[in-house]
Structure 1
Amino acid sequence: MLLLNILSSPISIALVALSVTAYYLVPYFTSYQSLSKIPGPFIAKFSNIWVAYAARRGRKFAAVDGAHRKYGKMVRIGFNHVSMADESALQVVYGHGNGFLKDHYYQAFVVGTTGVFNTRDRAEHTRKRKIIAHAFSPLSVGEFEPHMTSNILRWTNQFDKMASQNSNGSGSTFNIMPWFSYLAFDIIGDLAFGAPFGMVDKGRDEAEVQNIPGGPIRYTSAVDVLNRRGEISSTLGWMPALRPYAKYLPDPFFRKGVKSVQDLNGIAVAAVASRLDAVEKGLDEEKAGRKDLLTRLIQGKDANGERMGRKEVTAEALTQLIAGSDTISNTSCGVFYWILHGERAAPGTIIPKLQAELDAAIPSSAAVADYASVKHLPFLRQCIDEGMRMHSTSALGLPRIVADGTGVDFEGAHFPPGTVLSVPSYTIHHMAEIWGNDVEEFRPERWTRLNDRQKMAFNPFSYGPRACVGQNVAVMELQIIIGTLFRRYDFELHQEKLKSHEGFSKKPVECYTSMRRRL
C-alpha cells in the first residue's frame, strides 16, 4: 500500500512523465536532429511505436508502403529509422564495405546462440558465413536434389488422391497453402535434420519438440509456431525494452509468441540431437551415404580449421529450418497464385505457354521434374521471378545501422552514426516509376526486356554480403515444385485476392483451388 501511495503521488507521476518525455524528446532534438526534415507519421519522429504497431498487426509491409505513397521516397518510420524506397539505396545500405551493421532489431531473433542470420558482429558473421557457404557449395546443392524429389513425390501422391475424389477427376476445392507448408517443412527436415517431419504423409501440421537436449519430447503445430515466432520477434525487434517483460503483458499475442520462440528452438534441438549424438559416438555419416545440409554443417570448418559446436550447429540448423520452410512455402504459394491469377486475367497467355514448355522438357514418365530439365526453362523462371516480385515474401526493409565514421549522405540527406536505414522490398517491387503502369499486373514477359533500374530493384533475397546464402537452393526448389505442379495438374483458382499476413516474412493467409490430373 505504501509503495502504491508513493507511485501515485503527484511528484512520482511528474517524474515518470518527465522521464518519458526526456526519453522520446531528447534524441529528437540532439542525436537525430538531422532527420527532422524527413517526413513521416508524427509519432514515428519520437519512437518506434508506429512501426511496432504495424508489425503487431502483421501489416508492416502495407503500412510502410502506404507511408511512402503518402510522403515520398524517404520516410521516417522510427525515431532513428529512415525507410528509403529507391533502388539505388540498396548499394548504399546493403553493399560491400559500407561499414553498416545489422540493427539491434535482430537480437529479438536470437535464442541462446546466434546464427548467421541474426549475428551482428562482423567478424563472427564472416566466420559463420564461410562455414555455411561450404554447406551451399555447388557440389552440396547437387546432392540435395534426391531429398527434395522424394518428398515432392509423396506430396504429388497426396494430390493425386485429392484430384480423384470426384468422378470427373477435378477434386474438391481445398486450401493449398497448408500443403505448401507441409512440403517445405518435410524437405528442410530431410535436408537440415536427416529426416522429414512427416507432415505430407500425415496431412497435418505436427512436429516433435524437445526444449532441452535429453528432455521430454512432445508434439506441437510447427507451422503455427513458426508464424507466431516471426510475428513476436518482428514486433519486439522494434521495441527491445519490452522483451524481458513480453510474457507478462496482458495481450496473449506476446505470451503465446514467447512460448512459440521456445518451441521452435525445441523443434531444432529435437531434430538435431540424434544426428549429433551419432557423430559424437564416432559413427561416420559420410560412409552411411547421408549427404545433406546437416552433414555439411557438421563437417564445415572456419578459417582456423575449427568446427562448430553443438549449440552453434543447432542454431544454424534452426536458421535453415526457418528459411527453408517459411520462405519456400510462402513464396511457392505466392508464385502459384499469381500464375493462376495471370491466366484468369488474360486467358490463354500463361498456363498453355508454361505447360507447353514443361511438356517439352520433362519426360512423360517423370512424376517429379528433375532439376536438369527445368533449371534453364526461360518462361518458368520468368513466372517465378514475376511471382516473387508480386508477392514479395521478404517484404520488409531489412534494417541496417550506420556504425562507422561521420555517417552517410544520400539524396541530399545526412544520416549520422546510429541512424537505421532500410529499403522496403515490397515497395520497390510495386513502384510504377520503376516497373511501368502495369506494375500491379502479372506480366512474365517483362523479364525478357528488363532495364537497368528494374534489374537493380528486384531484391527477393536481399543484397550484398548479408544476402541469403541459400538463394540458389531456394530457386532450385521453386523451379522443381512449380514445374512439377503445372506439368502434372490443371488448376482452377477459387478466390479473388491473395491476402497476406506478415511476421518476418509475408505469408499468404489462404489459397483455394481445385485440380485434376493432366492426361
Structure 2
Amino acid sequence: MGWIIGTVISVFSTSFPEDVVERVPGGLAWSTVAYHITITLALMWMVKVLYVKFCLPISNLPGPWYAGLTDLDLTVRLLSGRSFDILHRRHCRYGPIMRLSTRTVSISDCKLAKEILSTHAFSKPQNIYKMLFQPYLPNIFTTSDPVFHRKRKGLLAPVFTWQSLRPVEEFIVDSGVQPLLDKFRSLPEGAEINLYQEFLGLTFDVIGRLAFGES
C-alpha cells in the first residue's frame, strides 16, 4: 500500500509546475490531496471486498478461501479448458454446493439443479445467455425470456409426455441407444470417447428415425 501511495504522490508532484504543486486553493498541498484520495479509494476497495466476502447470502457456502475475494481464479479455470475436472475435484472436497467466485455458485446436486432450472423464481444469467446465443434465433433452450419459453414449452410439452414417448420407445432404443452401446462395447480398454459428439450423433439418429423413418 505504501508504494502505491508514494507512486501516486510522485505522479501528482511531477504533473504540475513547481509553483502549483505546493498549494491548491484552500491551502492544502497537492501531495496531501493525493494521499487522502489514495487512502479513500483503498478503503472503499477494502470495504467492497469484505462485503462481498462476508456479507452476501452466499458467504456461508463452502469453497476455497479466496473464492469470495476475486473472480480471477474462476476466469483462469474456464480459460484452461479443464474447468469440468477442477469442478469435480472441488465438489468432492467441498460438497454438492460450493462458492466459485464472488457471486458464482456451483451445484452438483441433480434434484436441486432441476428445481432451479425448472422454475422462473430463480433469475437466470441473461448476460451469459445473450453472449453465447445472441447471434442465433432464440429457442426453448437458449432463451432467457420467460414468456417466450412458456409459449414454446406449451407447444412442445405434449410430445414429451409418457403417453407420447411410450409408442416410440422401441424406435429410440433400436436406432440410437443400442447402436451407441454396441459401439462403446467394441472399443478397446482405455480408449478415449468424445461423449459430446457421440450423444450428438445419437440425437440425430433418433430424430431422423422418428421424423423421416430412417436414421
Q: TM-score, normalised by structure 2?
A: 0.53
Contact 2:52 2:68 in 1 (8 A): no
Equivalent residues in 2 for 1:114-513, closer than 5 Å: 115-116=138-139, 117-127=141-151, 376=174, 379-382=178-181, 393=196, 475-477=202-204
2:174 partner SS:
coil
Match of 1:14 among 24, 30, 39: 39
1:22 partner SS:
helix
Structure 1 residues 429-484: Cα deviation after superposition (integer angstroms, max 9, x where no partner): xxxxxxxxxxxxxxxxxxxxxxxxxxxxxxx8xxxxxxxxxx8xx6342569xxxx
Cα distance, 1:77 vs structure 2: 0.9
Cα distance, 1:67 vs structure 2: 0.8
Match of 1:49 among 55, 68, 72: 72
Contact 2:97 2:105 in 1 (8 A): yes
2:138 partner SS:
coil
Q: TM-score, normalised by structure 1?
A: 0.25
Larger radius of gyration: 2
Residues 392 and 47 of structure 1: CA distance in aligned 2, closer, same or farther (over 3 Å) = farther
Structure number with higher helix proportion: 2
Match of 1:60 among 65, 75, 83: 83
2:85 partner SS:
helix
Indicate the structure whose relative CO is greater, using CA pairs within 8 Å and at least 6 residues apart.
1
Match of 2:55 among 20, 30, 37: 30
In 2, Cα distance between equivalents of 1:384 and 1:102: 37
Cα distance, 1:83 vs structure 2: 1.8
Q: Which runs of 5+ in 1 are unaligned?
A: 139-371, 395-459, 461-470, 481-519
Contact 1:381 1:479 in 2 (8 A): no
1:475 partner SS:
helix
After TM superposition, the runs of 4+ consecutive aligned structure 1 residues lying more than 6 A away are 384-387
1:51 partner SS:
helix
Residues 56 and 23 of structure 1: CA distance in aligned 2, closer, same or farther (over 3 Å) = farther
Contact 1:48 1:78 in 2 (8 A): yes
1:44 partner SS:
coil
Q: Which runs of 5+ in 2 are unaligned?
A: 1-9, 16-30, 161-169, 188-192, 208-215
Structure 1 residues 257-306: Cα deviation after superposition (integer angstroms, max 9, x where no partner): xxxxxxxxxxxxxxxxxxxxxxxxxxxxxxxxxxxxxxxxxxxxxxxxxx
Match of 2:123 in 1: 101
Equivalent residue letter for 1:376: D
Match of 2:110 among 61, 83, 87: 87
In 1, Cα distance between equivalents of 2:136 and 2:204: 28
User: How many residues in Structure 1 have an aligned counterpart in Structure 2?
Assistant: 160
In 1, Cα distance between equivalents of 2:46 and 2:98: 23
Cα distance, 1:28 vs structure 2: 3.2
Residues 21 and 129 of structure 1: CA distance in aligned 2, closer, same or farther (over 3 Å) = farther
Contact 2:120 2:146 in 1 (8 A): no
In 1, Cα distance between equivalents of 2:171 and 2:48: 59
In 2, Cα distance between equivalents of 1:383 and 1:78: 42
Contact 1:45 1:79 in 2 (8 A): yes
Contact 1:28 1:79 in 2 (8 A): yes
C-alpha RMSD over aligned residues:
4.4
Contact 1:50 1:78 in 2 (8 A): yes
Match of 2:163 in 1: none
Contact 2:171 2:206 in 1 (8 A): no
Match of 2:11 in 1: 5
Using the aligned pairs only, state the percent identity. Answer: 18
